[in-house]
Structure formats: C-alpha cells, structure tokens
Amino acid sequence: MAKVRKRKKRRRVSGRRHRKNVPRSVLYGMTFLAFLAFLTLIFFAYHSQEAANPTSADTSQSSQDTTTISFIQTIGESARQIAAQNDLYASVMIAQAILESNSGQSKLSQAPNYNFFGIKGDYKGQSVTMQTWEDDGNGNSYTIDAQFRSYGSLEESLQDYAQFLQKDLYVGVHKSRTASYQDATAALTGTYATDTSYGSKLNQLISEYDLTIYDSW
C-alpha cells in the first residue's frame, strides 16, 4: 500500500516592506521649497537675459549720455574761461548749451550757424529763421517761426552768450549777485526762456553731469 506523502506547505515570505508614513506637513514643506527654488531660477534667468539684451530705451539713453558727455568735453574749458571773465557760472552756461542745442545735435547749433543758446535776432547782420517752441506761461506749448543769430564758430557763440547776459535783465544770473548756481537758474526762468520749468531742467543737468567742476578757476 503506497504511502501518501503530505505536501509541505511553504510559507510565502511577503516581499512588501513596511513604509513609514511621512507626515503631510513635511511633504507640503518640501513642495513649497521646490516651488521657491523654481521661481528663483526663473528670476535669475530673466534678469540675466535682460542684462545681456538691454532694451531700446536703455540703449537710446546710453547713446544720449555719450553724446552729452562728448559735447561737455568739447565746450567745457572754453565755457570755464569765458564764464570766469564775465562773472557767470560755467555750469549754468554748459547746462543751457546742452538744453538749448540738444547737446550740439540741433540744426541751429551745427555749422554754419553755431547757435548753441537759442539766442534770437542777428549777430553782425547774420541770422537764420527756424521753427521753435514757446510756452504761454501756463505750461502750454506752441510753435512759432523765429529769427536766430548765426555765428561763425563755437567760440563766437559762447562769447556772445556771455555778452548777452550782461544786460540788466540778467543781473540776477551773475556770480557776484547770487549765492549759488540755483539762484542763477531761477533768475533765467521766465526771462531767458518762457518755459516755466526751465530752471529745474538746468539744475538737473548740472547735477547729473557734475558741471559745477567747471565753476572753479
């Protein structure tokens, strides 16, 4: 009689490992940190690209600054000497030249006219007619055709400007009658130019380009 063998039951060992439950607060914290890291990467990538590719406005401003600095270097020493000889602030003279001639880029300031200060009338019989902006005294602008002095050189323009400011109307511009260049620019507002913000524009240019260095002699 055959023996009946009992089959031995094998115990299956479960392959599952017991995982420890991670608290939700830890998961939320890790997710938040990852999100912050992602935002940081985006921020630096954007600003790196912005620095590498300046906007047209930045490029334009940089170009204008370069033009103005070059213009200051061109007229600076002559302005210093002529201003000192005529009791004037060279800083104000240069600032007016920048503002009135757009740093020597205006048609009136270029050859053959060399009028860097927008002085109207004629110079030794020489003049040119051009369109210009005026202010009605209330901040409203309008254009007119006006006759402007025409000079033979930059030096003539600077010298005539200094003589022009010897009129009684501009006595408040002179160094000996003022405490600072701000007094001089204030005296020019409403007299030399109709622009009601003329003085503040000159002050900004003097400060921005450190023009007071030309006031020492």
CA–CA separation, 135 and 98 (whole Å)? 19
> Is the CA virtual torsion 79, 80, 86, 89 positive or negative?
positive
- Dihedral of CA atoms 75, 78, 80, 86 in degrees, nearest 10, equals -120
Q: E strands of the chain, at which residues?
A: 127-135, 141-149
Q: Tell me what pLDDT residue 180 has.
A: 97
Tens digit of each residue's pLDDT (9 = 90 or more) over 131-174: 887 777 777 888 889 999 999 999 999 999 999 999 999 999 99
pTM for the model: 0.70
Nearest to 75 by CA among 217, 193, 214: 214
CA–CA separation, 139 and 141 (whole Å)? 6
Q: Tell me what pLDDT residue 50 has.
A: 53
Q: What one-letter code names the amino acid at 125?
A: G
Q: Tell me what pLDDT residue 169 has.
A: 97
For the chain, list residues with pLDDT below 50.
1-2, 4, 13
Structural domains of the chain, with CATH? 64-215 (1.10.530.10)
